[in-house]
Each structure stands twice: as structure tokens, then as C-alpha cells.
Structure 1
């Protein structure tokens, strides 16, 4: 693919393979533009695999009167769900309110009503107000002292890394060239205007030049670094905010219901059930270090455990209960004198004198709309070109080819029955169908062809083969963290098969899999699953 990238001129070069860059690539290519996307790490390795994994409108932004953000992201939730129901699903959220807390009964009722109206929520998903008894019936673990009731409303839970990958795969299906482990090292300028970039392959060290009519900086926490290469900019810059999360097995933390709650210091946090696990997050503190090295510190973990113990006092959670942890940074647009939680999550587009477009800020939920705004800008400034309209509002992502999300359960049941034809168990078939959606057949075929061996089941080998051949997994961490999620939500599985998966990937990929993801890297990853600092 890199030879093709080096030999052609593209309409659009996107720098950054997180969810924002992926959305831009998909929007642009479906309007008829030729697109190259480059990501210096793995796709979604930065912020886009380290969020709270919710597609939500941001209820707290009502308190800050950021109504436009609430309205736009609220409406986008349903669009993301309908385009990718295998990676996004409705999640009833419970907001308990306590005497002296941030939200009281009247504010909660009014806020959730406005939230539903701004977001255009359908009648059967609108908020309901609960008594203290009804609130505890939904979640018995909640603190009872001072409980006045709760508000129950709908948000959407997602797998952020999978959402990014499914967007990129759809863009590639439509003709975009998407490359991970390829870093734009410097820009090429012609006549004072940006005309291309020199790009280095991080796995084999080769260097190539890619020219483009329009270059978009969607590098998330690294957008300021990319702007420095341009040599021109404006007086705006990012302020990074760190968010950490911890994962606990339900045997120790039997959470039934997703909770949005007041922490002991007044910050709002989430506790979310996910399969056999539950996770708690997030912190919100300024971060000055390298975004590539961000991790959950012992202080972060202690803070989250104390918050969980405060709202769920009967659990008595301890440090040893934390099975895994992750942390990421939010690329916020700097606002002087504001704390991290007060800085707006709105997105902005900046254009330098040389023509470099930069997209900064924003939320996971609004990635598709942010991409639409960027590509509209490109279309407006394209002289003589007649690009098509944005079509991503009703465009299923890869794996999401369903007439309606309500078809997903029947699809999963059908694939469960088919799995035995490929030598898989019914449970393996169910898991694969639920995880990969309409791409399940491809995983089944890989699994059937590979069979079991070397400590890996046929299903595991099928997943690895699919990740390598269809999702550009290049090193073990790509598979264990972003393609499967095992390192966060199934640590036992990651530890049990991680070394075998790494060996299998090395056989498939050769030295490149060892170069950046060899035994030492795998040991480091597995050693950090509980958030322990290096």
C-alpha cells in the first residue's frame, strides 16, 4: 500500500488514525475524494481506545449551558448506534441524587427533560424519575444514606477502538488508503502552501512522500506537534486532560446498572457494567507528559477506588480487586484559568496561512459530525471540483450491514447455529457474531482454515488472522488491546493466550511483529494490566 501512496497525488491527506481522522477519511472518500490517512502508532492507539467508552450527549454540559454541544452530540448518539449496532448499544443510565449533591430532584428532572428534548430522544427512551426505593431496586449497591431518588435515562455504550476500526475499514472499502505505523515527519511546501508530507514507516524504516491538495491535521493530543511542522498557526493551543479508569470483576463488584454519580469531591463519574466486569471512571486532571506514555497512576487508582467506595459502600473494594486499568488524554482547547472539568469539549477547525486544516477538541460522540464539518470546509475551498454531499448519516460501518439495529439479535442467533459448520462451538459463534457483526463469516472462515494448535483455539486463530489480514494488526498489542479488548476486559484470557498469540503473529508477519511488539513489550503490557507504574 505504501508504494501506491508514494506514487499518487491525493485529494486529501489525513494525519491521525483515531476516530476523528477515521471519520474524515470516510466522509471524504464517500464524496468522491481520493484519500490517504496515516497514523504514527496503531489505529485508535491514543485517545480513541482510552475513553469512557460511552456515546453520550454530556449531561453535565447542560449545567455549563453548552446547549449546542448537548443538542448536536445527543442527536448523533442514535446515528452512531444505527450505523454500527454491533459495537454500540443503548444503555439505561441511572443518576442517583442525594441530599446536598450536585443534582437535586428538581434539577435532575428538568435537566433530563431538556436533555431528551435537545437530543430528540424517542418517547420510549425518555427519562423517568424514581423514588429512593425504586432507585435501590435498580441498583442495590448504592449508598442509602441521604438518597432522595434517581433519574433513569438512555445513553449508549460502545467499544471506542472497534468503532474507529469499523469506520476505517468502511473508508478502505470505499477506496481510502489507510496506513498505521506511518508518521508524517515533515511537510512539503510549494509557493508558501502546504503540498504534501514526507512519511516514515515505523516498522521497516522506509520513507516516502505523499502529495495532497488538502491536508488535515486530526492528530488528537499531537495536533500542536503537527502544527509546529507547518511553521504557521494561531494563538490557540491544546491543554491535555488525563482520564483514568479501573476494571473490576463482578464477583467483587456485582454492578447491575450503569451509574452516573457524584464523587466525594463533587466531580461526576461513571460506573458501567460490561459483561463479567464493571469499570469506574474517570479522573480529570491536567497532563503535561508525552501522550504516548500516559497510564493510570496509583494516585488515579486510589481516587477511583475511594469514589466507588463512597457511592457503593458495601463493596469495600481494595487495590487488589483492580484487574486492569487504562488512561488517556483529552485534547481540549486551552481556556485560561479553567479547571479540566470546566474546559469546553467543543470542537474547532483552524486553518493556517499555508492551508493546513486542524481539527481540535470535540467528543467521541460527535466524531461523524466533526468529520462532516471538516470535509464541508474542504469542499468549499476546492476550486472547480464538484464533490458529492455528505452521506455518512445513513451509511452502515463495516460489520453493521443491518436494515435496522433490531435485526442484530436474530442475526447473532443465526450465526450461533452456523458456527458448528465451521468447527466452532455455539458459544464461540455467538461471541464472534456479536463482536464482528456482519463480518462474522470472514472470521468463521479464517477459524475453519486455521484450526486449533500451538495453545490457541480455532476461534482465537480466526480472530488473529482476521485482525492481521483485514484490520492491519501488526504487533501483539494491536490484537490484545485494540482488536479484541482482552487486555482491558478479559485479563485472564490475555495472560493465558498472549504469548501464544504473539508467537502466532510473529509467524504470520515475520520480524515486524517482533520489532515493536516482541516478548519484552508483551511482558510490559501484561505487567501493567492492573495499572502498576513502570
Structure 2
């Protein structure tokens, strides 16, 4: 079955026509990882997501596959070791969506970190995470630190630590993992909401699912059901067996500036006056800064940056980069995400562990919550090991450790630059400028050839060939069903190139309306939804 938005209705019908070994509820990175692992072991798998794939936490992170250096402060050694090692696995299996990023950790007189603690911390980090030799930490003098990033506060500067993290596009990582699951036979649908569980003899045997685009309902039968809904995990557990709250939601906000306003050239991880840690990261002509950490008790659908969140981050910028003069008016865009953390009595927001946990109810429902983006594959392995044991069907061991995700089959990260260099001529031959052909290869990896074929097919309509090509690919191969899917989760443009969204939004909407056969009312509905997203992406100040 094609992973196409045009085939959604047919796909849901197919889901309702047979019994699966596993139904995954939730299309974020955790659910996608579970579907991929299970499908590669030979299980029949269905996945449903009530919004778009990655629409929740999995498109609203700091966009780093990082090892959690700060968790050493909380003595979470086991988590740092496990997640640190997973970083390299995620990179090797998907070098087109993950890039090594040298990170500068400056330390000042009276700050949270000093030369000794930074050196020891980074050395332990290298050891626990199994960091390869050429990416191990370096200690810098104050002068060397300022050469890396001249904007850093000079007063009281003692030096800096220099170490590698991995930058990613979190939503695209999720989509590529999901596409890998689909290529192994999994069926997945977005805008398909799990409404109720259906039982036989006290055990869940089916789930009633509503189609939030076309309307109607489907009953999906499955031997095992996994609740991987992130911030909605408690709600989905309560539908099965009301019980004690297990999650504590916290909100994290990031804001984006053009490099002309905040010309950062080096990623920096710095402590704030209140002892928290914040990232400032250059990316594609922009600089983004985050994150905040505040308890959140509202609806986790579409959280937005509030004036106090923006103010906190602006103060953090002024504290560490005193020569950078930025105001609320300089914030081009921003996003807020909700973290589903395991509840711990009496702990502050930033102290709550990022560990994951699995619960299994009497009905057989398995719930996974907590954890970090970086650890998604290992979390999936733990869940699918349990499912395989419960099904008892002779399913094999986990294979995803050395299995490329969709677009990542280039023979490992070391071979990715050569792959891009070799294939860029293919994009140029299709009619693309060399720079854009290279950008397509870096975003789509080994799937870029299909995008290039759409470039050749694209006519001279309202959209430039390259925009029409990635739109066609997003609809037909990544189930982009609405304009917001394309502009947020498939391209990231709403966060990092908001003017591009404003330029092409109308012709994109018209093209999607034509392909999907929308009525005038549906077209208006999706246009209004995109306009709301544009408004919410620009934080308002009180």
C-alpha cells in the first residue's frame, strides 16, 4: 500500500479488513520506532495517529540527537551511557537527517561549570557515550573560546569545553522511520483517532478509530495494542483502566532569529542566571535559542510560546551574549513543545528525569512514556521484545541497530558526502540549480531520486519546479494531507523560513486542493488552519 495522502481512505479500509499482530496508537518518534522494529521482525503492524505524524512533541524539540550531558549533574549515569551510545546509531542509520554539531560550553567565574567540572564531566561523557576518537572533547582557553564564538560574554570568562552533539530535523527523522516501517509492510494513517477500546473476556481485541478528514469509523483488530501517545498517554490509559496519573507535562519553548539580528556562528550550550542550561544554535541562516522548562497543565495540542517564555529566553541571550541587541520584534518565529515526563513527587521542572517507563494493564494494553528523542530506537526495542514474548510467535531479535531508515541506505555516515557529490548531477540534469539539488540530497538521502523525477514531471504552473516536486513527493510518499503538514513537518519551513511559507502558501493550497479534490469549504478550512499556525509561530508579546 502506498504511503500517500490520496490513499488514506483506502488504507483505513484495509486496516479494518484484517487482524494485526500489533496496533500502535501514536505517530510520534516512539510509535514510529515501535512500528519499524515490529515490522522488521515479521509482525503485521498498523499505526494510527490522531493528528499528523510528529505533530506533537516529535516536531517541537530542540532538534538535537544529544546524549544528555546535563543529566550527569543528576547522576543519571545509566541513561547518559545508553542514550549517548544511541546517538551514534541514529546518525549511522540516517546521516541525511542527522549532522554532527560541535558544541561550545563556556564557563565563567561564579557559573554552574568550572574548568575542572567541565573537563571531568565531558571526559566521563566521552567514556559513557563511547564517543569516537575524532569527536572527543577538547578544553579551550578563554581566548580560544572567544575565537570560536566572539559574541560570548567576555567578563569572567575562564574557558570552554568543546564537544560534539548531533543536530537533526526531528519531524523528518520521525517520517523517515515511519517510511522505513511502511517499506517493511506496516500500514500507517494520520488523522485517524483511536476513540475506544473493544474487549473480549476482559482483553483488548480491537480499537475503534475515527477518520478526522473523510469522516466515518474503522474498527481495527489486533492481538496487542501499544499506547505510544506521548502527552496523551495518561488519557489513553484512563480509557482502559482509570488510575493514578503517571505523567507530568512540561513545556519547552524555542525562538528563531535571522542571522542578521543574531549572527551566531558556533553552537553554544550555556548556563543561565537561574542555573538552567540553554542552547543557541546556528542553522541555515538563522539562530534558534531554547529551551524553557515549565509545568504545563493545559491541552497539549498546539501549545504556543507565551510572552513570559520569550522574555525568559531574551534575558538568557542578553546574559550570555551582551553585545547582541535583540528585542521581541526580532523574533521571526518560534515553537512550543510538551514533554511527557514520568511523574516524580516534589521535583522541579528541570529536575524530573527523562527516563522512559513501560506499563502493562490487565487488559493487555502496553503503554510507553517518557524518554528522549535520542533513545527512541532502544525504547522501541524494549517494547517490541515484550510484545514478541506475549505473542509467542517465534519472532526474531531486534534488527534496527544496524538497519538504515528510509533515505539513509548510503553505507554509513562516512560515505554520505561522497553520495551527495556523486548524485548532485542527477538533480542538475533534472533542471535544478546545483545548490538546490544538493539541498534535496541532504534532506531526502537515497529518496532524492524520486524527488528529482517529480522535478522533471513538473510543469510551469504557479509553483517553481523544485517546490512543486517536494510538494508532490510529500503528498504521494509521506502522506502530507494538509498544508500545515507540508509547511511544518515535511519541510520545517514554518519554523526556519517563515517568509518562504508566506510566499508559496496560496499556490501550495491550490495545488493540494486540485490533487485531493477538496471542496471550496475544505480549501477554506485548511487555509484558515495554516493562517492560525502562521500566527501562532510568531510569539505575541504582552
Of 443, 453, 456 in structure 2, the residue corresponding to residue 448 of structure 1 is 456
1:199 and 1:20 map into 2 onto residues whose CA distance is: 20
2:107 and 2:242 map into 1 onto residues whose CA distance is: 49
Matched, 1:497 2:497: no
Question: In the alignment, is the contact (CA less than 8 A) between 2:328 and 2:541 conserved in 1?
Answer: no
What runs of 5+ residues in structure 2 fail to find an aligned partner? 1-10
What does residue 245 of structure 1 align with?
254
Of 164, 167, 192 in structure 2, the residue corresponding to residue 154 of structure 1 is 164
User: How big is the shift at 1:114?
Assistant: 0.4
Of 439, 458, 461 in structure 1, the residue corresponding to residue 465 of structure 2 is 458
User: How big is the shift at 1:256?
Assistant: 1.0
What does residue 480 of structure 2 align with?
473
Question: In the alignment, is the contact (CA less than 8 A) between 1:477 and 1:517 conserved in 2?
Answer: no
| CA displacement 1:391-446 (0-9 Å, x = unmatched) | 00001010101112122222222332222321222222111111111100101111
1:509 and 1:407 map into 2 onto residues whose CA distance is: 38
Matched, 1:267 2:276: yes
| CA displacement 1:354-392 (0-9 Å, x = unmatched) | 110000100000000000000011112223x10011000
Of 410, 419, 424 in structure 2, the residue corresponding to residue 416 of structure 1 is 424
2:200 and 2:478 map into 1 onto residues whose CA distance is: 35
Of 438, 459, 471 in structure 2, the residue corresponding to residue 430 of structure 1 is 438
2:214 and 2:411 map into 1 onto residues whose CA distance is: 42
Question: In the alignment, is the contact (CA less than 8 A) between 2:122 and 2:137 conserved in 1?
Answer: yes
| CA displacement 1:459-513 (0-9 Å, x = unmatched) | 0000000000000000000000000011011111111111211111111112289
Moved more, 130-139 or 494-503: 494-503
What does residue 101 of structure 2 align with?
91
| CA displacement 1:222-269 (0-9 Å, x = unmatched) | 001111111255x35111000000011111111111111011221100
Higher relative contact order (CA 8 A, sep 6+): 2
Of 467, 485, 490 in structure 2, the residue corresponding to residue 483 of structure 1 is 490
User: How big is the shift at 1:533?
Assistant: 7.9
| CA displacement 1:177-232 (0-9 Å, x = unmatched) | 01100000000011001111000000011101001111000000000111111125
Matched, 1:2 2:12: yes
Task: Check 1:54–1:516 CA distance in 2 against 1; reply closer, same or farther (3 A cut).
Answer: farther
What does residue 278 of structure 1 align with?
287
SS state at 1:327 partner:
strand
2:511 and 2:19 map into 1 onto residues whose CA distance is: 37
Task: Check 1:56–1:376 CA distance in 2 against 1; reply closer, same or farther (3 A cut).
Answer: same
What does residue 45 of structure 1 align with?
55
1:84 and 1:34 map into 2 onto residues whose CA distance is: 24
TM-score of the pair, normalised by structure 1: 0.97
SS state at 2:16 partner:
helix
What runs of 5+ residues in structure 1 fail to find an aligned partner? none
SS state at 1:291 partner:
coil
Of 20, 24, 47 in structure 1, the residue corresponding to residue 30 of structure 2 is 20
| CA displacement 1:159-194 (0-9 Å, x = unmatched) | 000000000000000000011000000000110011
What does residue 296 of structure 2 align with?
287
What does residue 527 of structure 1 align with?
535
SS state at 1:292 partner:
coil
2:180 and 2:236 map into 1 onto residues whose CA distance is: 26
Of 305, 309, 318 in structure 2, the residue corresponding to residue 309 of structure 1 is 318
SS state at 1:92 partner:
strand
What does residue 200 of structure 2 align with?
190
2:26 and 2:258 map into 1 onto residues whose CA distance is: 34
1:91 and 1:425 map into 2 onto residues whose CA distance is: 27
Matched, 1:257 2:233: no
| CA displacement 1:14-52 (0-9 Å, x = unmatched) | 000000000000000100100000000000000000000
What does residue 179 of structure 1 align with?
189
1:197 and 1:516 map into 2 onto residues whose CA distance is: 32
What does residue 406 of structure 1 align with?
414
SS state at 1:94 partner:
strand
What's the Cα RMSD here? 1.4
Of 311, 326, 330 in structure 1, the residue corresponding to residue 335 of structure 2 is 326
Question: In the alignment, is the contact (CA less than 8 A) between 2:241 and 2:361 conserved in 1?
Answer: no
User: How big is the shift at 1:451?
Assistant: 2.6
SS state at 1:294 partner:
coil
Of 235, 255, 269 in structure 2, the residue corresponding to residue 225 of structure 1 is 235
User: How big is the shift at 1:149?
Assistant: 0.5
2:304 and 2:354 map into 1 onto residues whose CA distance is: 22
Moved more, 505-514 or 340-349: 505-514
SS state at 2:424 partner:
helix
Question: In the alignment, is the contact (CA less than 8 A) between 1:240 and 1:331 conserved in 2?
Answer: yes
What does residue 42 of structure 2 align with?
32
User: How big is the shift at 1:516?
Assistant: 8.6
User: How big is the shift at 1:514?
Assistant: 3.0
| CA displacement 1:264-308 (0-9 Å, x = unmatched) | 221100001111011000000000110003111111111111111
TM-score of the pair, normalised by structure 2: 0.96
Q: Counterparts of 1:308-387 in structure 2 under 5 Å?
A: 308-383=317-392, 385-387=393-395
2:507 and 2:344 map into 1 onto residues whose CA distance is: 48
Moved more, 13-22 or 439-448: 439-448
